[in-house]
Structure 1
Amino acid sequence: MFFSWGSCAQQSENAIELSQLRLGVALGFGTITNPLNDGDNLPLIVIPDIAYYGERVYFDNGQLGFTLSEHNRHVFNLISEFNPENRFFVTWHPANVFIARNAFTEPANSERISISEINSPKWALDGGVNYQYIADTWRFSASVLHDISNVHKGQRVALSLSKGWQTQSGLLSVRLGLDYLSHKLADYYYGIQADDQVGITFQQNAAWLPRVELSWHRQINQHFGLLAKVKYHYYGSLSDSPLFSSNQSVTVFTGVTHVF
């Protein structure tokens, strides 16, 4: 869920050794378009890459995990991370760090409520289980998480399938994803509550959100490389909320990577 250039560090070109801390950074130009009314687009200038894998415990760019079982191609983890849906309300959210209003497509709802008019949602910490199936250049991941901080009191599911190709020009990878937000989670972040006092209320239903990501990384030497990423999020029925000005968000970045 986080926009980081070095996630899944054990499978990247710069694979880390067990019990070693990996520190890296990408410097360049990019942006995350904000689909919410009066929400600023989020600049991407510096993207950190921080990962550590111990015998069982690991931290990988915003996700803290504990490996329950690792056998052949199957991996089962316990994980925790900040809920990413708060990223469009908070500029320095981890989902923005670890990578004018957007108006590609107008949503169905004709009423518009600015995010500055409502109560800002709180940070939430989600926790749950993750399963990964790793086969050569393929990776399937499925996570089921619940709000362990008792903020939105909902659940989410994150599914992804990624494939990498090592070419003469660098490592090209594609990731297809599908996220499920429960009713309580979606309504907490994108509904309009009575205590917002904006003259209307809106109840947001559960939603499935597809996404696709394309990235290219070319290693120049042991420490430096080149990186380009494009990520597309489609918000579907979520954009019926009066908070949305668009039903999609696009993330783009290009720059230079450095591993310390």
Structure 2
Amino acid sequence: MPVGDWQFSLALGIGELSNPLQGGDDIPLLILPYINYYGEQFFIENNVIGYSFYQSDQLVLSAIGQLNREKAFFTDWQPSHLFVPNFSDSMLTESDHKTISKDDVSKRKWAVDGGIQLNWFINQSTELKVQLLHDINQVYQGLNSQLALYHRINISDNAQLNLGIGANWHSAKLNDYYYGLDEKDQVGLSNYYQAEGGINPFVSLGFYYQLTSKWQAQIRFKQQRLSRKITDSPLVKDQQVTSAFIGVVYAF
């Protein structure tokens, strides 16, 4: 994109983000807005706002802020909501392990993460991204990080395949705030759970076909394996989070 230009796109299609929580509905992905802006140093990439204070042909080091995703699983997503911005150290035995619905615990808050992002463009097709973030609005008072490798394969002049592999690390304070259970949740002492830090690996796949200068067809898939420190929580029913989308994108 030219420096200083805004890009607005809208994806229309059918998709879903799975919800790993007990009592949680899967999140529909039907209408997805994209907003991008790249200035000399300031940039916006959808829900990420950043400022690049070091740039070279291969390395970009930025300060960023973004919304933490975990709260989305605790939100009720009805059909009218079309937009969308992981065994245990517990003392419970299997017979004591009661499932707890997200609707029966205290409300979790949205967290805004801020920190450092490094983009290393290894070559024109391969990028390594590293993030280290802390919640700047002091919701869970912890850290999270990401290490991801992305590779683009140009199938033809109009078709492109993007492959990704990586992992997100959550600190104990992050996992315990969202997936732990204690007196504030009023679930009974036998159901208390204290989550520790863990690593959540993921893989992603995206296929893009340029139909015209304005229209593009997309198929996207991502699956993240949740750490045992998350899946051992009575709040959690699934061991992974999966998102899939198929549709078209119009660039304004």
Residues 130 and 108 from structure 1, CA distance in 2 versus in 1: closer, same or farther, beyond 3 angstroms? farther
Alpha-carbon distance in structure 2 between the residues aligned to 1:59 and 1:110: 44
Gaps of 5+ in 1: 1-15, 99-106
RMSD: 1.6
Find the partner of 2:108 among 113, 121, 129: 121
Aligned to 1:31: 16
Alpha-carbon distance in structure 1 between the residues aligned to 2:16 and 2:96: 26
Aligned to 2:118: 131
Aligned to 1:256: 248
Q: Partner of 1:23: helix, strand, or coil?
A: strand
Q: How does 1:158-173 map to 2 (within 5 A)?
A: 158-168=146-156, 170-173=159-162
Q: How does 1:30-69 map to 2 (within 5 A)?
A: 30-69=15-54
Post-superposition CA distance 1:192-223 (Å, at most 9, x none) = 02111011311000010001110000011110
Q: % of aligned pairs identical? A: 31
Aligned to 1:10: none
| TM, length-normalised to structure 2 | 0.89
Aligned to 1:7: none
1:187 correspondence with 2:176? yes
Q: How does 1:101-112 map to 2 (within 5 A)?
A: 110-112=97-99
Find the partner of 1:74 among 43, 55, 59: 59
Aligned-pair CA distance for 1:90: 2.2
Report how many aligned residue pairs link the two structures. Answer: 234
Residues 225 and 240 from structure 1, CA distance in 2 versus in 1: closer, same or farther, beyond 3 angstroms? same
Find the partner of 2:225 among 234, 240, 255: 234
Gaps of 5+ in 2: 78-82, 86-93
Alpha-carbon distance in structure 1 between the residues aligned to 2:43 and 2:114: 14
The aligned amino acid for 1:112 is: T
Find the partner of 2:70 among 70, 85, 108: 85
The aligned amino acid for 1:131 is: L
Name which one, 1 or 2, has greater alpha-carbon Rg. 2
Q: Is the 8 A contact 2:24 2:76 kept in 1?
A: no
Aligned-pair CA distance for 1:236: 2.5
| TM, length-normalised to structure 1 | 0.87
Alpha-carbon distance in structure 1 between the residues aligned to 2:16 and 2:95: 25
Alpha-carbon distance in structure 2 between the residues aligned to 1:126 and 1:88: 17
The aligned amino acid for 2:246 is: T
Q: Which runs of 4+ in 1 moved over 3 A?
A: 107-110
Alpha-carbon distance in structure 2 between the residues aligned to 1:91 and 1:244: 16
